[in-house]
Structure 1
Amino acid sequence: MEQIRKFLQGKGFALVLAACLLAAAAAGVWAVQTVRGELQKNLDGLRDPASSARTAPGIDEGLDLTTPDEEDSTEWQQPTAPAANSVANVPKASSSTAPSGGAGGSSGASSGSAGVREPSALQTESAPASSSAAPASTRPVSGRILNAYSGDELVYNKTLGDWRTHNGIDYAAAKGEKVLAPAAGKVTLAGADGSWGPTVAIEDASGRLWRISGVADLKVKAGDTVTAGQALGTVGSVSCECAEDSHIHLEVKQGEKYLDPAKVMQ
């Protein structure tokens, strides 16, 4: 024991301590290398899913190890069709179809164009509306209105000397002037009608009765079909209104009701 005590008090203690430190350092280096090796294996397994199945059995096999960068690069590598293919068959405008601004500028596309025409060419294809179509109704003469339709208002009759309603319109017209049919229809009367004198009555397609009094030299007879504007005769005299200036009298009736001829002809 005395020898051991002397040894520890001398250089022996330093040697033992140095040996212990070396052993501890060696153990620490070995432990660090071992841990580093395991960490390297795990890191390699994360980078390579195939090797992780062999070298890292503790890692969940269902873990998706694909990085966002890899997904984005896969998606953007899909081929795309050129945008020009979608408009490959659109015909190009030809400069030969443009109007020159002169007299021949509206002639349309040239014979070699792909069916492209100028607006003027399209407009000329539609047939113009016929300007000769017969009017729905017309005034029997062109003179001014002497006496208008009065409706329920009483007016004075110079010829009869009393107050009564005026159920039609009196148009001023010179004797012998041509009288026209105010509407198309069937002639139901062509001759004398009591105090109204020579009268022509026409029933139109709507069932209205047009009566024109003061018509002489009749050109139609009952049963005839006439068109608006067709000649019925000439201006004569209205017996019950003979005190007025020369005129013809026009009435329009719907059943037993008198209508204002001016409104009907609008």
Structure 2
Amino acid sequence: MLLLLAFVLAAIPVPYAWPVSPPQVTRRFEAPPEPWLAGHRGVDLGGTPGTAVRATAAGTVLYAGVLAGRGVVSVAHPGGLRSTYEPVSPAVAAGDTVTAGESLGTLDPGHPGCPVAACLHWGVRRGTDYLDPLTLLGLGPVRLLPVPGVQDGG
């Protein structure tokens, strides 16, 4: 599975960037041991209320509105990825095409467990699989993968 994920992420043709600036990771991605169990299916980025939340890459807005009491924006990107941002006061609407770095709205306070004035929860998934958004920036956890044809020497 990890080797497949490495190939999938290596094949992504679009550059990705931080959705807020300056980036301050306050909570990292924690994959649940099983899809139905608790985990943290994204990264929390600390910020200030009113900070611009930007599209991490070009795409089409799938959703922009209130969901479960929080403003949410979801963007579909080339290659089958979807990024989600919350809590956000959206400045875009479903169906809008956005470029990398374009403002999606502004950061709202109120993300549960946020240790600063406001935190953006940034999630990424392909289909039903949640991915660590930091891997899109080359900052995910380092994983050593087997090299085909090379034995472990033991």
TM above 0.5, yes or no, is yes
Deviation digits for residues 108-133 of structure 1, max 9, x if unmatched?
A: xxxxxxxxxxxxxxxxxxxxxxxxxx
**Aligned partners of 1:183 and 1:231: how far apart in 2?**
11
Please give the TM-score of this superposition, normalised by the length of structure 2: 0.72
Greater strand content:
2
**Aligned partners of 1:140 and 1:148: how far apart in 2?**
15
Task: Look up the match of 2:24.
Answer: 144
Task: Look up the match of 1:189.
Answer: 63
Deviation digits for residues 151-203 of structure 1, max 9, x if unmatched?
A: 1269xxxxxxxx930000000000111111111100000011215x1011000
SS at match of 2:50: coil
- Unpaired runs of 5+ in structure 2? 1-13, 139-154
SS at match of 1:264: helix
Does the CA contact (< 8 Å) of 1:150 and 1:166 recur in 2? yes
Residue 93 of structure 2 aligns with an amino acid whose one-letter code is K
Residue 148 of structure 1 aligns with an amino acid whose one-letter code is R
Choose from 101, 121, 128 the match for 1:256.
128
Task: Tell me, yes or no, if structure 1 residue 169 matches structure 2 residue 66.
Answer: no
After TM superposition, give the deviation of residue 265 of structure 1 in Å: 2.6
Does the CA contact (< 8 Å) of 1:213 and 1:238 recur in 2? no
After TM superposition, give the deviation of residue 242 of structure 1 in Å: 5.6
Larger RCO, structures 1/2 (Cα 8 Å, 6+ apart): 2
**Aligned partners of 2:19 and 2:128: how far apart in 1?**
22
**Aligned partners of 1:214 and 1:153: how far apart in 2?**
26
Stretches of 4+ moved more than 2 A in 1? 242-245
Does the CA contact (< 8 Å) of 2:87 and 2:121 recur in 1? yes
Across the two proteins, how many residue pairs are aligned to each other?
121
- Report percent identity of matched pairs: 30
Task: Tell me, yes or no, if structure 1 residue 198 matches structure 2 residue 39.
Answer: no
Does the CA contact (< 8 Å) of 2:46 and 2:114 recur in 1? no
Greater helix content:
1
Residue 152 of structure 1 aligns with an amino acid whose one-letter code is P
Does the CA contact (< 8 Å) of 1:177 and 1:235 recur in 2? yes
1:149-164 alignment to 2 at 5 Å?
Answer: 149-152=29-32, 164=38
**Aligned partners of 2:130 and 2:78: how far apart in 1?**
17
Task: Look up the match of 2:144.
Answer: none
SS at match of 1:262: helix
After TM superposition, give the deviation of residue 229 of structure 1 in Å: 0.4
SS at match of 2:38: strand
- Bigger CA radius of gyration: 1
**Aligned partners of 2:44 and 2:31: how far apart in 1?**
14
> How large is the RMSD of aligned CA atoms in angstroms?
2.1
